[in-house]
Structure 1
């Protein structure tokens, strides 16, 4: 399997995941031309994408999904509540490309299975995804205010995990956001801080299961890539987790493809 974060952050998110036979996107939260350019940069043809799986209806996750579906005849997968919420924003979609999936369901595409699970975020029915093929697993969990037992169960044994490391708490508290927005981000249905991300990784640590971690969905206002990386690294070191073998950290770039990993 392969994974590449095409874009990650509050300005837009899209993640490419492939098995031997299947190719999918998790979200398409930038204009279609940006997603096309990112796919071209990693030598992938948009015509070969088998589906776009939507986590939730916020614009930084769906902005380009309608354009991509219409231009390349790509099916869009989302739960019914998310479909109803995002339809007014994405334009007309061909009937055969409207794929409604149940929450906590498994969707087979060629040699890949896509498992969805609930996440705590202030959207209508947000989900994370675990994608598996031939014994390999990749999980994507961003936009979650709390690392719940359900999230933990679904990602704990994955080979690669893209996990949110959204903000530094002190930067957020003393930063320029208005108070209601600060409360939203810090709430149980907001976003994971760097510290919470590190604690979550400690919680799922298993010496018998080496894995790669991609830190993603960083705030442009309340975080820095170096700060997120160092904060999580410090927490892992404090808990005697070997960051050269047990948990190898990578960063997802907000501006373009990054962390291209093959299993």
Structure 2
């Protein structure tokens, strides 16, 4: 299994996942042109993609789904029914032959890949996260949620790679330019997770088999790469975890993909 976080942040999210039999996008929250450019940077093309899994309908996760599906008829798109119903008209028509319903709580096998969806807490129609499994390797992506429940934490414990939301620094958010209602939305249980929130979850779920942790969905108004990384590093180190020794801690960005990582 190979993974690259092509783009991650409040304005666009795209992740690339490859197995022997599949090349997948998890969300497509940028224009088709930008996604093509990012794929090219890791030596891949959109024509090689055969599946897109959509977490929810917000534009920073779904903006490019329609154009990619129309341009590449081999791509199958997966989302739960609530998300399909809430997809904005701006995405354009997605051919029915490429639309697939993947309900919350589903587990389905596609050749050498097993995909599992889990419901999380966000102000979307049917927000879900995904766990991808190939043989003994697991990749988990969870963004856009106010918290991660104990049951999900137990389920993802010891995954090979974890990409968890690290949206904001509390002090930066509270002292920043956002209106109070928007700050409340971000802070609530259907909003987003802070640096400290992610650090606490990671401390519970990182195990001996964990190889990689990705800091994802960082706000460019209420967080910085350095602050997020240092907060996570400090907290995990304080809990006795050997950051960048037992597992690697990777930053992600809206413009630059991570290297293609072999799990």
TM-score bucket of the superposed structures, by smaller chain: over 0.9
Aligned residues: 262
State whether structure 2 residue 46 is matched by structure 1 residue 46: yes
Secondary structure of the 1:27 match is strand
- How do 1:160-199 and structure 2 match up within 5 A? 160-199=161-200
Distance 1:135 1:114 in 2: 13
Shift of 1:45: 1.9
- How do 1:1-263 and structure 2 match up within 5 A? 1-73=1-73, 74-86=75-87, 88-206=89-207, 208-263=208-263
Runs of 4+, deviation exceeding 3 Å: none
> Is contact 1:50–1:109 with CA below 8 Å preserved after alignment?
no
> Is contact 2:57–2:88 with CA below 8 Å preserved after alignment?
no
Shift of 1:111: 1.1
Distance 2:83 2:184 in 1: 24
Distance 2:36 2:206 in 1: 36
Shift of 1:176: 0.3
Distance 2:258 2:68 in 1: 21
CA deviations 1:4-61 (Å, max 9, x no partner) are 0111001100000111111110000000000011111111121121111000111100
CA deviations 1:65-112 (Å, max 9, x no partner) are 100000011111000010000052321111110101111112322211
Distance 1:205 1:72 in 2: 37
Secondary structure of the 1:69 match is helix
Instruction: Single out whichever of 41-50 and 149-158 deviates more from structure 2.
Output: 149-158
- Scaled by the length of structure 2, what TM-score is found? 0.96
> Unaligned stretches of 5+ in structure 2?
none
Instruction: Single out whichever of 237-246 and 117-126 deviates more from structure 2.
Output: 237-246
Secondary structure of the 2:148 match is coil
Shift of 1:259: 4.4
